[in-house]
A and B are shown apart, each in its own frame.
Chain A
Amino acid sequence: MGKIPASLRQSKLPLSLLKPSPSSSPKPSKNAPNPRLHRNPNRKNLPKTPPLPNKSFFHSPDLPQAIRTFDSLVSSKSFPLNQISQNALLQSFCSISGSSPSDSLSLLRHMSSSSPSFRPDHSSFHILLTHACSQPFDPSPTHIAPVHQVLDLMSSSTYRPNKASIDLAVRALCAAGREDDACRLFERWPAKYSHSPDRFTYNFLVRRLCRTREVSTVYKFIDSVRNSGGPVPDIVTYTILIDCVTQSKNLREATRLLTILNESGFKPDTYLYNTIMKGHCILNQGGEVIEVYRQMKENNVEPDLVTFNTLVFGLSKAGRVSEARNFLDKMAQMGHFPDTVTYTSLMNGMCKKGEALKAVELLKEMESKGCEPNECTYNTLLHGLCKSRDMEKSLELYGVMKEGKMKLESASCAVLMRALCREEKVAEAYEVFDYAVESKSLTDVVAYSALDRSLKWLKKMKGSS
């Protein structure tokens, strides 16, 4: 035990908190708490990328052909050529797969020379910049050149690169898996363009690095940005870092970061506390969450739904189910109504204690309160019922799941097969195998391994008895 329950892996909230192992969930689970990061105000200042014209004008990444198409559009005058529509044309050329950044740059040059109504503006440059940055990774040293070309072109125009430009560039580079290029661009930005990228871009990049690189690389990046006059870590950065180190179960580093955070005079907020709670859960100290909650109240930090879900999860994990249960009422009083995730966490705690029947009662309670159970909930219950050897109820629940075409998770599937084998219902175990494969819950390799394992186990049991 002590792993994050498989059955909880796909649910929405605590999972964002109680981070699954990266391999497990197909949905990219959102890193805890920082919705703030996504709201980059720069985006609003940004001249909006105009919507694409309904008809796609360019069909091939071939430059001469694109130029011909553009010229015929200019001469035919059937199409209202204003700034926005011409930017849209540029965008449409860039979005053709296989169009190269140098071609799109040439197209821009051609457009500005042959169409009097077109003057490249921030939008146009940003389209080119994003295009250059989204090129897939290529180890040759010149592959960053198109990005600098666009930036140099911008610098020489009246539309100088601004904070939005670096933000777009960093995000596009990261999306293309070119984090190293993004870091280099970011570090050199303040010196080159005499303004510092903002902290939204900074935190985005830090978070991205935390996910893809070693912690030491992240620290190096933070240091070199600080030295080059860029942004310094703020509370969001620290939250990201703490989240990152607790995921690798590095308690000492997390404590050190917390100390630095306090010394720098940042006031912990709900997100930070949530992250700390999540950390305790990951480090198998589920019981500690209550202490964090106490601190939150002391510092007058308002808990949110995530806080409570983490609390319930942590306490359930530590086996303190009745305390977890009490929080259900407490959170409702504070206006945060328990959701599917809350109930599922609690059920998981109950099942672990072998109180699967109580968990089933809780299912009824949650349904009566209008909270819909999801696949996770059912998988948790199935797992619990099988473990507590309540075959009749397990099969009933399995029937419900089959009717609802719900997917089985590998853990609950394996436990169910094992339970069936225990009663020598081998044919039924085969049937579960069929369902798991048919419903595409598991790959056939995983389903077969589970089946094979249960059968071997049964044979061993038979042999020894």
Chain B
Amino acid sequence: MVVGARLRKAAAENPKKVAGLIDLVNLPSTLRDFVGQSQISQLGCFIKVWSYIKAHKLQDPRNKNVVNCDDKLKSILLGKPRVELLELPNLIKLHFPKVTK
């Protein structure tokens, strides 16, 4: 409940942070090819990538926490062949401008 309260607080007090998640951003060409749109938000991009992973069953069957990237995915995730799910949000964040404080 503490976490929840903090979240709500974050949403209320830090509109910039939320905006950073949901603002549409013009995409660089690599990302544009992947998502098929010229604009997307950071959150939307995360959801797209995650559903791409699920749809193509890219999670390592032995360790679900790891993704074996296919070529398309590699192109947007720094060319890494294996990516931990743990790192996924951060890797996606790299494509988006930092929230200025």
**Alpha-carbon gap, A455 to B50, bound state (A):** 15
- Name which residue of chain A comes closest to B12, CB basis: A23
Within 8 Å of chain A (Cβ to Cβ): is B78? no
Does B8 lie within 8 Å of A430, measured CB to CB?
no
* Residue from A5, A425, A452, A459 within 8 A of B1 (CB atoms): A5
Q: Does B94 contact A (CB under 8 A)?
A: no
Q: Cβ of A428: which chain B residues have Cβ within 8 Å of it?
A: 64
Interface residues of A in 427-465 (CB under 8 A from B): 427-428, 430, 434, 437, 444-446, 448-453, 455, 458-459
Name, among B5, B10, B43, B50, the residue most crowded by chain A CB atoms within 10 Å (CB to CB): B5
Q: Which of chain A's residues have a CB closer than 8 A to the CB of B22?
A: 445
- Verify B43–A6 contact, CB threshold 8 A: no
Q: How many residues of B contact A (CB 8 A)?
A: 24
Q: Which of B50-71 contact A (CB under 8 A)?
A: 50, 59, 64-65
Q: Given A6-B1, A453-B3, is A445 in contact with B85 using a C-beta cutoff of 8 Å? A: no
* Nearest CB in chain A: distance from B68 CB, A: 13
Nearest CB of chain B from residue A164's CB, rounded to whole Å = 42
- How many residues from A make CB contacts under 8 Å with B? 35
The closest CB in chain B to the CB of A7 belongs to B1
Does A414 belong to the interface (CB within 8 Å)?
yes
A458–B43 CA distance with the chains assembled, in angstroms? 20
A426 within 8 A of B: yes
Check B13 for interface membership: any CB of A closer than 8 A.
no
* A414/B4 in contact, CB under 8 A: yes
- Chain A CB within 10 Å — which of B1, B5, B64, B65 has the most? B1
Q: Which residue on B lies nearest to A409, using beta carbons?
A: B4
Q: How far is the CA of A430 from the CA of B8 in the complex (A)?
A: 21
Min C-beta distance of B55 to chain A, whole Å: 12
| Structural contact, B7 and A450, CB atoms closer than 8 A | yes
A448 B43 Cβ-Cβ under 8 A: yes
Contact A411 B3 (CB under 8 A): yes
- List of B residues within 8 angstroms of A122 by Cβ: none
Question: At the interface, yes or no: B21 with Cβ under 8 Å from chain A?
Answer: yes
Please give me the residue from chain B that is nearest to A413 by CB atom: B4
Contacts A1-B1, A410-B7; is A430 near B21 (CB within 8 Å)?
no
A352 to chain B, nearest CB (A): 9
Q: Does B18 contact A (CB under 8 A)?
A: yes
A430 and B85 contact, CB distance less than 8 A: yes
CA distance A430 to B7 in the complex (A): 18
Q: State the Cβ distance, B21 to closest chain A Cβ, in Å.
A: 6
Chain B nearest CB from A312 CB (Å) reads: 18
**Complex: chain A residue closest to B51, CB-CB:** A434
A453 to B4, CA, bound (A): 11
Chain B hits for A430, CB < 8 A: 50, 85
Partner of B7, one of A23, A434, A449: A449
Interface check A3, CB cutoff 8 A:
yes
Residues in chain A near residue B11, CB distance under 8 A: 445-446, 449
Asked if residues B3 and A455 are in contact (CB atoms below 8 Å), the reply is: no
Pair B8/A23 contact, Cβ less than 8 Å? yes
Residues of A within 8 A of B50 (CB): 430, 434
Known A1-B1, A418-B3; contact A448-B85, beta-carbon cutoff 8 A: no
- Say yes or no for B46: interface residue by CB 8 A criterion: yes
Question: Does A367 count as interface, using CB distance less than 8 angstroms?
Answer: no
Q: Which residue of A lies closest to B54 (CB)?
A: A434
- Contacting residue for A410 out of B4, B43, B89, CB 8 A: B4
Is there a chain B Cβ closer than 8 Å to A171's Cβ? no
What does the 1/0 interface line of B16-35 toward A look like (CB < 8 Å)? 00100110000000000000
B86 touches A459 (CB 8 A): yes
B8 to chain A, nearest CB (A): 7
Residues of chain A lying within 8 A (CB to CB) of residue B59: 427
Bound CA span A386–B45, Å: 30
Check if B86 sits within 8 Å of A411, measured CB to CB. Answer: no
Given that A445-B22, A455-B89, A458-B86 are known contacts, is A427 also in contact with B1, CB under 8 Å in the complex? Answer: no
Is B84 in contact with A411, judged by CB distance below 8 angstroms?
no
Q: Using an 8 Å CB-CB cutoff, how does the interface string of B77-100 with A read, 1 for contact, 0 for none?
A: 000000011100100000000000
In the bound complex, do residue B8 and residue A410 qualify as a contact, i.e. CB atoms below 8 Å apart? Answer: yes
Is A415 interfacial (CB-CB < 8 Å)? yes
Residues from chain B with Cβ under 8 Å of A444 in the complex: 43, 47
In the complex, are the beta carbons of B43 and A426 less than 8 A apart?
A: no
Q: Can you report 20 residue pairs joining A to B where beta carbons are below 8 Å apart?
A: A1-B1, A6-B4, A7-B1, A383-B1, A410-B3, A410-B7, A412-B4, A414-B3, A424-B65, A427-B59, A427-B64, A444-B47, A445-B18, A445-B21, A445-B22, A448-B43, A449-B11, A449-B21, A451-B89, A458-B86
The 10 tightest CB contacts between A and B, nearest first, are A411-B4, A427-B64, A414-B3, A411-B1, A410-B4, A426-B65, A426-B85, A6-B1, A6-B4, A452-B89
A residues in contact (CB < 8 Å) with B? 1, 3, 5-7, 23-24, 383, 409-412, 414-415, 418, 424-428, 430, 434, 437, 444-446, 448-453, 455, 458-459
